[in-house]
Amino acid sequence: MTALYGYVGKILRVDLSTNRISFIETSRYYEMYLGGRGIAARIAWEELKPNTSPYSPENKLIFMTGPLSGTLSPGSGRISVCGIAPQVYPKPWYTRSNMGGRFASWLKYAGFDGIIIEGKSEKPIYLWIHDDKQVDLISAQEYWGMDTFSVQKKFQEKHGGFTVSACIGVAGENLVNTATIVTDAGNAAGQGGFGAVMGSKKLKAIAITIPKIGLKEKRIAIANPERLIQLWKECQFLLQGGQKEPIPMSEYIGIKLDYQPKYYACTQACPGLCDSHYFQNVPSKHFQEILSTHMMCVGSIIVNYSTGEKAWAKVDYRISLPEALKINKFSDQLGLNQWDLVGGLVLWLAMCYEKGIITAQEIGMKIDPNDPECWIELMEMIAYKKGFGKILAEGAPAVAEKLGKGFEYLPYVAYGYAEHGAGRCMWGWFEYPYWIVGALLWATDTRDPFSDTGHAYSHLVRGGHYAPMLNQEKKERIAEHLWGSGKTVSDDYEDKAQVAIWLQNRGCLISSLPVCDWIFPIVSSKYTPDNFGDTSMESKIYSAVTGISISEKELDIVGERIFNLERAIAIREGRRRSVDEAVGRFFEKPDWTRKITMEFEKFKVLLSEYYDLRGWTREGVPTKSKLIELGLEDVSSVLEKFINL
């Protein structure tokens, strides 16, 4: 047997109905599906029946790391969480989420590449992984009802300081459709409502304690250490020009600061200084509390956010720093999806309230997003399902349906996911024509694509923390190199499909290896003479870690395979062109920057072009020849049984 590099060898399977614990060899999957999102998709294809209810014992919660998790690969402390997602509206289906922090690394140091949770426990329990691959199921009766920070601290006290846990809060326990799984102070598998799936299984937490000394196995073994160190340095250079001391900030999101934020690696092995910040010991007069927590990516509720007058959905949140920190912290403690709150539910409620569509009487309280107390009250209502919170806990699109009003103000693009990268509201930073790519990504995905798929494009066209602001000529030159046409970044519906496909295939790799999507793929750099990045970095790092030599092109095919497998799962669930196409309707609202609306007919043509390039039928179904080309014969023969490929 050849030595195993990168992977640690085993996937843990826990059946909570029978308390049975078993193991699968990771080698069964990794050559074809890499890790993370890829392996999870294969397991879902094999084991998850279509139309499974998210809260039934038959639903599975798949935690999956990849070959780069826990290694020195930049931004590698990530893990994918997959299963049938209750947040998806109107009908829950299979999708994914992922989180950073240290949980993925700890799982691998403890000896597992992933965990499949299935069945359902009668009583609250938690899973404890410790010593040499020891796995225990322990009663969590005393932890049920506890907030996510307290329960993690309790486990640290109980099992020792080198314990990292992923857990749910009250929202997950009470099956709120937008409940999160939380690790550390706010790293969360936030989208999808997987916290509630965990809650339905009565699983409060997964705690992992790794030994500080006395290791018996060289785990995680790395095939080519020197090369990995060199590649890490190359990445760091591309991202920030080498080692860099943090510079104190004079202002933050346009406000003068009384408190200096710390730069904070939200995930392990982060090579630099990005937007992720951590405020320490900020006193809040309003809440009579000293606050330390994240802001930006890990804490989505930010200070003073306004979309301006032109926006279709006007947002003008005026919350001071300490109060915003408190809202972030509180939502993490309850285990509620901040992203959905800030860019979805609260935004929608605020607009409906202002227009008199929904009244204080109906909700049981006044809605004022500038009042921190309003946020706290709303969150408590939802997490504990008190009063109107029972309805709100189903997610804003479901509430609108139930009340039969407020549809025109829903800031939700599709599938029960709030606007992101669509150029329309809170997170709609995309200008025309870039949101055309956004629309295509949204239309062909199973969730909000902008947390793990679309950032590379936005970095190229708009710049970013690591990415330079480029002029049109430079953008086009890089785009030409990447996608064979400069028109991929210019004004029109032309040549947008190949960008979406490339991003999606890469997105699959990013969450399968997995690495941070804020860093990879590195499409542009401030520090190279021509501003070119290096998109072969993922394949180089993968080769150094695993010793499996693979080129950028070959790895992209793995990404394509994963995306097609996920599409096959969706097709099996009933997904067709009509669902994809309907997503375009959201884009008929005027965009934020220039009030441009989508030309639906052009979008339909673009969608067909996308299918053609994908090797799918015009109905959006992968063809038999495509699936066979990707080594998915068995998938095609299953699909064939109920649809003409």
Question: Which residues are near other proteins by CB under 8 A?
Answer: 70-72, 77, 101-102, 105, 109, 149, 152-153, 161-162, 184-185, 210-216, 218-222, 225, 228-229, 232-233, 236, 240, 243-246, 262-265, 268-273, 278-280, 292-293
CA 82 to each of CA 198, 567, 578: distance values in angstroms, whole numbers, following the listed order: 11, 14, 25
Q: How far is the CB of 216 from other proteins (least distance, A)?
A: 5
Q: Is residue 532 helix, strand or coil?
A: strand
Classify residue 18 as exposed, middle or buried by CB count within 10 Å of its CB (0-12, 13-18, 19+). exposed
Measured from the CB of residue 270, what is the shortest distance to other proteins in angstroms?
Answer: 4
283-298: b (≥16 Cβ within 10 Å) or e: ebeebeeebebbbbbb
Q: Are strands 10-15 and 20-25 parallel, antiparallel or unpaired?
A: antiparallel
**3-state secondary structure string across 392-416:** HCCCHHHHHHHHCCCHHHCCEEECC
CB of 164 to other proteins, least distance (A): 9
CA-CA distance, 637 to 45, in Å (whole number)? Answer: 13
CB of 479 to other proteins, least distance (A): 29
SS3 of 182-193: the string is EECCCEEECCCC
Residue 95 structure tokens: 């999708």
Please state the φ and ψ torsions of residue 213, each to the nearest 5 degrees: -145, 170
Which residue, 221 or 391, has its beta carbon nearer to other proteins?
Answer: 221
Pick 119 or 211: Cβ nearer other proteins: 211
Q: How far is the CB of 224 from other proteins (least distance, A)?
A: 9
Q: How far is the CB of 333 from other proteins (least distance, A)?
A: 10
Q: What size, in residues, is the chain?
A: 645
Would you say 175 or 270 has its CB closer to other proteins? 270
Comparison of 212 and 285: residue with beta carbon closer to other proteins: 212
User: In the complex with other proteins, which residue's Cβ is closer, 94 or 149?
Assistant: 149
Q: Which is nearer to other proteins, 162 or 407 (by Cβ)?
A: 162
For the bound state, the minimum distance from the C-beta of residue 172 to other proteins, rounded and expressed in Å, comes to: 19
Q: Which is nearer to other proteins, 4 or 509 (CB)?
A: 4
Minimum distance of other proteins from residue 540's CB (angstroms): 16
Buried (b) or exposed (e) across 507-534, using 16+ Cβ within 10 A? Answer: bbbbbbbbbbbbbbbbbbbbeeeebbbb
| 109 versus 502: smaller Cβ distance to other proteins | 109
Nearer to other proteins, 149 or 312 (CB): 149
Per-residue HEC secondary structure of 76-106 comes to CCCEEEEEEECCCCCCCEEEEEEECECHHHH
**Phi and psi dihedrals of 225, rounded to 5?**
-55, -45
Residue 508 CB, shortest distance to other proteins, in Å, is: 24
Q: Which is nearer to other proteins, 162 or 429 (CB)?
A: 162
What's the token pair of residue 313? 């959905």
- Whether the CB-CB separation of 16 and 118 falls below 8 Å is answered with yes
Q: Which is nearer to other proteins, 220 or 301 (CB)?
A: 220
Q: Is 157 exposed, middle or buried (0-12, 13-18, 19+ CB in 10 A)?
A: exposed
Whichever of 105 and 524 has its CB closer to other proteins, that residue is: 105
132 or 612: whose CB is closer to other proteins? 132
Report CA torsion sign: 165, 166, 170, 173.
Answer: negative
Quick one: 78 or 589, whose CB is closer to other proteins? Answer: 78
Residue 157 near residue 135 (C-beta atoms within 8 A): no
User: By the 8 A CB rule, do 70 and 105 touch?
Assistant: yes
Smallest distance from the beta carbon of 186 to other proteins, in angstroms? 8
Three-class SS state of 612? helix
> CB 268 → other proteins: shortest distance, Å?
5
Quick one: which of 417, 314, 478, 542 has its CA closest to 96? Answer: 417
**In 10 A of CB 387, how many CB atoms?**
12
- Shortest separation between residue 136's beta carbon and other proteins, angstroms: 20
Task: Report d(CA 92, CA 50) in Å as an integer.
Answer: 10
For 241, phi then psi, to 5°, come to 70, 20
Angle between helices 346-354 and 372-383 (to 10 degrees): 120
Distance in Å, CB of 451 to other proteins, minimum: 21
Q: Which residues contact 508 (CB under 8 A, 6 or more apart)?
A: 37, 38, 558, 559, 560, 562, 563, 566
Q: Contact, 508 vs 562, CB < 8 A?
A: yes
Exposure string over 211-249, b if 16+ CB within 10 A, otherwise e = eeeeeeeebbbbbeeebbeebbebbbbbbbeeeeeeeee
Give 90 or 161: the residue with its C-beta nearer to other proteins: 161
**Burial of residue 19 (number of CB atoms within 10 Å: 0-12, 13-18, 19+):** exposed
